[in-house]
Structure 1
């Protein structure tokens, strides 16, 4: 039995609620939230949808309303047909092209175009299908890094979700050592399945990918495979600020840091934290309301790691 709670509000209000949700560490992991515009000709009118594998309680409705901070919009409840409710939330996932990458679900064909890499990511996996502006922006920025002559031998993707950005890094630098991590243990099987479906070998050798569960960089696997000359973190502005010192310790002098998950209004705070950790901006791009930052660690600071 699946249910959905729906709230309609201005785009800024819904986006702020989504950010509050990501920062709510005690949020029920079974409840998936999505936010989107109601129609292409109404870009400022958005809907927030919360999918539940059960009938929502008063506490569930109160938790959703709390994401809006002040006065919450009206929240409507509706029972859904018996089906995969996460897949329903992602039913409109269409292929995207970002940089040299074409990302699609199994429902769509591969592009098979010279110079383009196809990745197939099932729509039932809510985050990391490439649809979100931050994921697509990272794919584009990774492509720019490669075109600029960046050479990567050891990379890590923090908060990997479906594994897509780690797969993209391996595609661009096929002999690099790869590490992917996520705070959610469910992502282990997700990444393993997607790696198998996209021909990405798992293991600890060159050209292979290691998957681990970790909060930020707090993992013996991540520490043991450091230092990195590329670290990717597509998470949220708050955690990016908190993790900036850890990123400074994990990235080699002269190494690269690719950050996303921050709104353009949050960029200044993230950049200040990274500046204090020894990073300088190499390039930035925006995708919708989101910033994607490519930073480099100052080459004159010794790595204070192992």
Structure 2
């Protein structure tokens, strides 16, 4: 089953706003209240304007969306006009397939849609999934940064691995395939949990990946399995800052965390929050405007 075929008897709509960089995070949070995945694209490099957009069922969550947008305007000081583009599901799927060629990432990975007929590259680890309504297809700079970071730290052979906010499950699958270790993949969105399970099965990784519903570190099951040797957290800048203390607490000594979902301009804020909790910066990887941080917990903490 393609992850895009989401119980759609109705049409889809793309909702979007165009805002200055300082307002991106607020509006990304707002749109994510009703959209399972949100994309951020540079709209005007000279003016530093960004387009924040998501795809949802037409008419779904209108009251929640209106309230979230009002809050975003209040907290950012930027009132953005919401744009809507309506499309039939089949038409959206076709355009998605056309714009999703195989993505080579780093030296080890290639991410391919299920619609591709060409043989996979035998020299790379192939992850098969479809770009769609659960975040993570190998195209976005934050996902690519995480995969590159995984390559860099793989020699440490982490045993206990957590993908916090797994989306499509791409990072959990990459870690399981590269390290041959079990991965706990969690997400606050039930649809993402289901998609991760389906993608794990499609890639022959079901025995290594356990996908569970969970709200970050407040989830008892996540805390119970700590400490972790490797944690992926490809989320948003502000939630990352808020979770820094818990992350440090549940990370094993010498454990590694890969943080993403932040613009390079947000790196300093996110890094400072984690350094205050005792974590040490090892690398800052850049994929265009997007930053990925590799941090480590000292052996004696």
User: What is the TM-score normalised by the length of structure 2?
Assistant: 0.82
How do residues 1-306 of structure 1 correspond to structure 2 at under 5 angstroms?
Answer: 1-2=10-11, 4=13, 9=18, 13=19, 16-24=22-30, 27-29=33-35, 33-37=38-42, 47-55=51-59, 60=65, 64=69, 67=72, 69-80=76-87, 82-83=88-89, 87=93, 90-91=96-97, 92-99=99-106, 100-109=108-117, 112-146=120-154, 149-174=155-180, 176-202=181-207, 208-301=208-301
CA change 1:216–1:4 in 2 (3 A) is same
CA change 1:35–1:255 in 2 (3 A) is closer
CA distance in 2, matches of 1:44, 1:269: 19
Deviation at 1:283, TM superposition (A): 1.4
Which structure shows the higher helix fraction? 2
Q: What is the CA deviation profile of residues 263-283 of structure 1, one whole-angstrom value per residue up to 9, with x for unaligned ones?
A: 111111211221122210111
- What is the DSSP-based 3-state SS (H/G/I as helix, E as strand, rest coil) of the residue aligned with 1:169? helix
Gaps in structure 1 of 5+ consecutive residues: 203-207, 302-306
Deviation at 1:67, TM superposition (A): 4.2
- What is the DSSP-based 3-state SS (H/G/I as helix, E as strand, rest coil) of the residue aligned with 1:217? helix
Stretch deviating more after TM superposition (284-293 or 71-80): 71-80
Q: What is the CA deviation profile of residues 245-270 of structure 1, one whole-angstrom value per residue up to 9, with x for unaligned ones?
A: 11111111111111111111111121
Gaps in structure 2 of 5+ consecutive residues: 1-9
CA distance in 2, matches of 1:166, 1:201: 11
- The aligned length equals 287
- What is the DSSP-based 3-state SS (H/G/I as helix, E as strand, rest coil) of the residue aligned with 2:255? strand
Deviation at 1:6, TM superposition (A): 5.7
CA distance in 2, matches of 1:89, 1:65: 31
Q: CA RMSD in A?
A: 3.1
CA distance in 2, matches of 1:159, 1:181: 6
- What is the DSSP-based 3-state SS (H/G/I as helix, E as strand, rest coil) of the residue aligned with 2:230? strand
CA distance in 1, matches of 2:32, 2:115: 34
CA change 1:115–1:172 in 2 (3 A) is same
CA distance in 1, matches of 2:61, 2:293: 40
CA change 1:58–1:246 in 2 (3 A) is closer
Task: Tell whether the 8 Å contact from 1:23 to 1:238 is kept in structure 2 after alignment.
Answer: no
CA change 1:300–1:28 in 2 (3 A) is same
Q: What is the CA deviation profile of residues 38-77 of structure 1, one whole-angstrom value per residue up to 9, with x for unaligned ones?
A: 69x9996754444442258986568557646445455444
